[in-house]
Amino acid sequence: MPTRDELEKVVKDCGGINIAYGDKDGVSLADKNIANKSYQSCYKKQGFSSGYYWSDTTHVNISLSAWFVIFYNGSVSYDFKGHDNYVCCIQSSE
């Protein structure tokens, strides 16, 4: 499974903006990602959908939670590991 950093890199490399949990400008940044046709096309070409993708990165303070990325709007957040989200295995370029 990809790390949080690897999923965030997909957003960035596709021209999107990573939106951190609790970012005060999160709504306006998400709107920019949603309106960015190039970004929307890029992550889909890489095999991702617009949904939530789990990372293998556990939240530091909440051991039963892991970080995820929502490609549609570029949000990065965390949730309890038992919730339903997509999983995508990736191959590292290193």
* 14-31 pLDDT tens trace: 999 999 988 889 899 999
Q: How confident is the model at residue 50, as a pLDDT?
A: 79
57-94 pLDDT, tens digit per residue, is: 888 777 778 888 999 999 998 877 765 554 555 454 55
Is the pLDDT reported for residue 8 higher than 80?
yes
Q: How confident is the model at residue 6, as a pLDDT?
A: 93
User: Rounded distance, CA 40 to CA 70, Å?
Assistant: 12
- Tokens representing 78 are 């965390």
* pTM exceeding 0.85: no
Q: How confident is the model at residue 54, as a pLDDT?
A: 84
User: Rounded distance, CA 60 to CA 26, Å?
Assistant: 22
Looking at residue 53, what DSSP letter applies? E
Q: How confident is the model at residue 64, as a pLDDT?
A: 77
Q: Which residues pair with 77 in a beta bridge?
A: 68
